[in-house]
Each structure stands twice: as structure tokens, then as C-alpha cells.
């Protein structure tokens, strides 16, 4: 790694904004154990640029951003331009203990709870969609033309993501205007969420270098498809075996996997407050957006909140392929909070040994009334406020965060809801395009 230029020590905050402080890169090694200063009230900063009021922190207190050097990223820039260099940090107290409002700590705790109570380990990947803002004429969805027009951005972004260790797998044009998708390889839970944070920043950086802006906003245009963040996850047992797979069960989903899925579905409404947490998010989750129009488990079904993707014979062993895809998240969600919450919801399903949920195999648009109700078509909360109310009502989910983190989180979300209260949806969508 080069030691010239600046390296940013950053965290991803409750509103999924990456914030931090920079050092001369030559100073990084000297700050590996002490990091840089940070302020509790920073976790009450909203994505709309204000400080949430009231918030539980006020003007007092001091913290540190402690770099995890395993996450050191450097994406060189051509012609001696400034490299993007950053290290993801834990937020710790001055005595070195993880601060209770650290999102990375929230995920690490959730993964440890799962491990301690079941022996299971999470392998995950975050699949992002985004749009390039601009007035260029539209190319057709999924077309080679759309892909070629995205050059040199497309090749540069894939190279930069590789350089950043984000393990990109594909670059593909998507359905909405100037929309693209980049799936990445799976990694252990914490590393997967780290990759999600890095991916967003690298995509924005390479767009900037091309004089463009990439937006991950959940819904750019209410009349179009939105930008999802689909979270794929599988579980490994103590011996490293794929614990979701059982060829003798429906959809090859093991009893353990079915209970985990049932836990996620049991907390689906509360999860929306954490995974789809902007005032523009809920509309993306309504039916016919190919996102999560039915709050159910679906086999190869892109309208289901939890999808079981196909097992492909030519890809080899089916066990490691079997995963659950949570389709209800977007980039307004902090990846650590989203995965940490999904894991806790699944763990609750395992603890309660919940029975297998019904599996939706049809297009929900074709279901009769009773079947639509059974599969909760259009079932997710219709607004962020409804999602927050669901989180408040769901006692188990309400306790996932410490009271302090919960209070801070709700104050940030309330500020966003208030700012959007008098806007039409398209105005809110336009504003969030500039944020994410
Ligand atoms: N754009 C859809 C979403 O908002 C996802 C489309 C797909 O990749 O299946 O989640
Ligand atoms: Mg897609």
C-alpha cells in the first residue's frame, strides 16, 4: 500500500452514511491501536444533513474510530490523481471497549449469538443495484448496448472493486433507466457487510471520476423498478457443512433452514424498519416491483421477500449453493444492522423451532384471495412510520439493539420522516437520489 496521500478512517453510521476522519497515509501504522477521535452525537446525524433532535447523546462524550486493518482499501487513480484509500473502523470507547452503538459491533454480536447458541456460521453476499444519473438516451434493459454505453465506467468499476478486495462477480445492466447490478462473491458475515460498504463507495468513486453520479437510492422514479440490495445468506455447521440443504425436504431446505426462514418472516415487518429504512423505501417493496411484493418464502420467485435461488446442476454440489435471498433491503440500510437483524430474526426462528413456512411457487398476481393472504401479498409495512411502529410492537426485535442504539436509530428515522412529511413521493425520491 502506498504511504502518500490521505487514508480515511471511517464507519458506516445508522443512516448508512460513511463518515470519518483522514490521516496522512504514512501515519496509519502509528494509529493502528488508538485510531482517531469520534463523537457520540455523530450517531444522531441524519442522512439528510441535520442532527436529529432530540437525541440521546447531546454535546458530551468522546469515542475512537479504531481501524480494522484487514479492511484497508486503496483504489489507485490514473495520472497521480488522489487514490481512494480507507479503512473501516469499529467505534470504541476511550477504554477500548466496543461502543454499544457501533453497527459493526451489532453484527459481530449477532453472529456470535448465532454461533454460541447453534454452532452455525453465516456466509453472505450483498447484491447491489444502482443507477447512473444523467440525461443520455436510454438503452434497452439488459441489453449489450446498455452495457457498452456504460464503458469505460463498467470495466473501471469492476477493476477497482477487485483492487478493493470486494470480489465482484458480474456487471449487468438492469431493468430501470441507466440501472446496473453488481453481485459479489460470498464471504463470512462481517466481511460480507464490509464488502457492501466498500462496494458503494468504490462505485460512487469511479462514477465521480467519470464525471457522473451513481445513486443507490431505493427508488429513483416511483413509476419504475427500484434499486434493491439483496442479501444472500447460507449457514455452515461446526464441520463447515451446508446446514440449509436437505434433499429430502421441500425446496431442499433443511428443517433448520426452514425454521431460520420462518424466524425472518415472523419478524418481517420489524425488519423493514432496519432493512428498508428511508421514506422512499416502502413503495419499492409493494407488489409488481420484483422486490418483495409478498412477505413470504418463495422458490425461484422474485416477488418473495425470501427467495430460494435455483440449484444449478453444472455448478456442482447442491448443498453449498443453497441459500436464502432476503430481497427486502436497500442501500438506505446500514449493511451491518441489516445482516445483524436478519441473523437475529433467523436465530429466533431456530430457538422457537418454528415450523416450515409455506413456499410460494407462483406469481403472486395469480393467487386467489385466500392464497394471497396466506403468502402475505402486499404484506410489508406501507411506510417507514408503519415499519417503525412494527419494530416498536415486536418485543423480540425491539431488544436486538441496546436501548441507547434504538433511541438513536428512531430519532434519526423520525427526523427523516418529518422532513418528507409534506413532500410528494417523487420529490422525496429525487432528494434521496442525491443522498445515496
Ligand atoms: N430491482 C429489483 C429490486 O428493487 C430487483 C430485480 C431483480 O434483480 O430481481 O429489488
Ligand atoms: Mg437485479
Given the DSSP bridges, would you call strands 359-360 and 294-299 parallel, antiparallel or unpaired?
parallel
According to DSSP, the residues that pair with 299 across neighbouring strands are: 308
Instruction: For 30-72, write each residue's pLDDT tens digit.
Output: 999 999 999 999 999 999 999 999 999 999 999 999 999 999 9
What is the rounded CA–CA span in Å between residue 47 and residue 331? 12
- Quick one: which atom of ligand 1 is closest to the CA of 176? 1
Q: Please give the grid coordinates belonging to residue 353.
A: 423451532
Q: What is the DSSP string of 244-269?
A: TB-TTSGGGB-HHHHHHHHHHHHTHH
In which element (H, E) is residue 159 found? helix 153-163
225 lines ligand 1 (CB under 6 A): yes
142 lines ligand 1 (CB under 6 A): no
pLDDT of residue 194: 98
In which element (H, E) is residue 304 found? strand 304-308
Instruction: For 217-248, write each residue's pLDDT tens digit.
Output: 999 999 999 999 999 999 999 999 999 999 99
Tell me the best of 174, 178, 220 to mutate to test the pocket of ligand 1, counting ligand atoms within 8 Å of each CB and taking the most: 174
CB 13 within 8 A of CB 38: no
Domains observed in the chain: 6-99 (3.10.20.70), 106-435 (3.30.590.10)
According to DSSP, the residues that pair with 326 across neighbouring strands are: 231, 306
Q: Which residues surround ligand 2, an ion (CB under 5 A)?
A: 181
- The Å distance, Cα 406 to ligand 2 centre, comes to 31
Q: Whose CA is nearest to atom 2 of ligand 1?
A: 291
Given a cut of 60, is residue 1 above it in pLDDT? no
Given a cut of 90, is residue 411 above it in pLDDT? yes
Tell me the best of 302, 306, 310 to mutate to test the pocket of ligand 1, counting ligand atoms within 8 Å of each CB and taking the most: 302
232 lines ligand 1 (CB under 6 A): no
- The Å distance, Cα 405 to ligand 2 centre, comes to 32
With a threshold of 0.95, does the pTM exceed it? yes
- The Å distance, Cα 387 to ligand 2 centre, comes to 24
* Ligand showing the shortest atom-to-Cα distance for residue 291: 1
CB 207 within 8 A of CB 214: yes
209 lines ligand 1 (CB under 6 A): no
What is the rounded CA–CA span in Å between residue 322 and residue 252? 8
110 lines ligand 1 (CB under 6 A): no
CB-based burial of residue 24 (10 Å sphere; 0-12 exposed, 13-18 middle, 19+ buried)?
exposed
Please report which confidence band the pLDDT of residue 3 belongs to, taking 50, 70 and 90 as the band edges. Answer: low
* Contacts of 432 by beta carbon, 8 Å cutoff, 6+ apart: 47, 217, 218, 219, 278, 279, 280, 332
Peptide bond connecting 170 to the previous residue in cis, omega within 30 degrees of 0: no
Please report which confidence band the pLDDT of residue 79 belongs to, taking 50, 70 and 90 as the band edges. Answer: confident
In which element (H, E) is residue 197 found? helix 189-209
Average of per-residue pLDDT across 332-360: 97
Instruction: For 96-139, write each residue's pLDDT tens digit.
Output: 999 999 999 999 999 999 999 999 999 999 999 999 998 889 99
- Mean pLDDT lowest for which of 219-233, 358-372, 415-429? 358-372
Tell me the best of 171, 176, 289 to mutate to test the pocket of ligand 1, counting ligand atoms within 8 Å of each CB and taking the most: 289
pLDDT of residue 362: 84
- The Å distance, Cα 284 to ligand 1 centre, comes to 9
Amino acid at each position: 500500500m502506498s504511504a502518500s496521500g490521505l487514508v480515511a478512517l471511517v464507519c458506516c453510521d445508522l443512516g448508512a452514511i460513511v463518515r470519518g476522519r483522514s490521516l496522512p497515509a504514512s501515519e496509519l501504522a502509528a494509529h493502528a491501536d488508538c485510531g482517531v477521535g469520534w463523537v457520540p452525537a455523530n450517531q444522531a446525524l441524519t442522512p439528510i444533513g441535520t442532527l436529529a433532535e432530540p437525541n440521546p447523546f447531546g454535546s458530551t462524550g468522546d469515542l475512537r474510530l479504531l481501524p480494522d486493518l484487514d479492511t484497508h482499501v486503496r483504489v489507485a487513480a490514473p495520472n497521480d490523481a488522489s487514490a481512494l484509500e480507507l479503512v473501516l473502523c469499529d467505534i470504541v470507547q476511550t477504554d477500548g471497549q466496543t461502543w454499544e452503538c457501533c453497527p459493526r459491533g451489532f453484527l459481530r454480536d449477532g453472529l456470535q449469538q448465532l454461533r454460541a447458541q447453534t454452532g452455525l456460521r453465516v456466509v453472505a453476499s450483498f447484491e447491489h443495484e444502482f443507477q447512473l444519473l444523467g440525461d443520455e438516451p436510454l438503452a434497452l434493459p439488459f441489453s449489450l448496448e446498455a452495457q457498452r454505453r456504460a464503458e469505460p465506467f463498467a470495466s473501471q468499476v469492476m477493476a477497482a472493486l477487485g483492487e478493493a478486495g470486494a470480489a465482484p462477480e458480474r456487471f449487468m445492466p438492469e431493468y430501470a433507466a441507466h440501472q446496473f447490478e453488481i453481485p459479489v462473491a460470498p464471504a463470512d458475515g462481517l466481511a460480507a457487510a464490509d464488502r457492501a460498504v466498500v462496494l458503494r463507495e468504490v462505485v460512487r468513486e469511479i462514477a465521480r471520476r467519470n464525471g457522473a453520479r451513481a445513486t443507490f437510492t431505493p427508488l429513483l422514479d416511483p413509476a419504475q423498478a427500484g434499486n434493491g440490495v439483496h442479501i444472500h445468506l447460507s449457514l455452515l455447521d461446526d464441520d463447515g457443512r451446508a446446514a440449509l440443504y436437505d434433499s429430502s425436504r421441500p425446496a431442499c431446505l433443511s428443517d433448520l433452514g426452514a425454521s431460520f426462514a420462518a424466524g425472518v418472516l415472523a419478524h418481517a415487518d420489524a425488519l423493514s424498519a432496519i432493512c428498508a429504512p428511508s421514506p422512499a423505501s416502502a413503495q419499492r417493496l409493494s407488489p409488481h416491483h420484483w422486490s418483495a411484493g409478498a412477505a413470504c418464502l418463495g422458490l425461484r420467485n422474485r416477488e418473495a421477500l425470501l427467495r430460494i435461488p435455483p440449484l444449478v446442476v453444472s455448478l456442482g454440489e447442491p448443498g453449498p449453493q443453497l441459500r436464502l435471498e432476503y430481497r427486502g433491503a436497500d442501500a438506505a440500510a446500514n449493511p451491518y444492522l441489516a445482516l445483524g437483524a436478519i441473523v437475529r430474526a433467523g436465530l429466533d426462528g431456530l430457538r422457537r423451532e418454528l415450523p416450515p413456512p409455506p413456499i410460494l411457487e407462483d406469481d403472486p398476481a395469480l393467487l386467489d384471495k385466500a392464497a394471497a393472504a396466506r403468502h402475505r401479498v402486499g404484506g410489508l409495512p406501507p411506510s417507514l412510520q408503519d415499519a417503525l411502529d412494527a419494530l416498536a410492537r415486536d418485543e423480540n426485535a425491539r431488544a436486538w439493539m441496546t436501548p441507547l442504539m434504538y433511541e438513536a436509530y428512531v430519532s434519526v428515522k423520525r427526523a427523516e420522516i418529518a422532513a418528507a412529511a409534506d413532500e410528494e413521493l417523487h420529490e422525496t425520491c429525487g432528494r434521496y437520489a442525491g443522498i445515496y
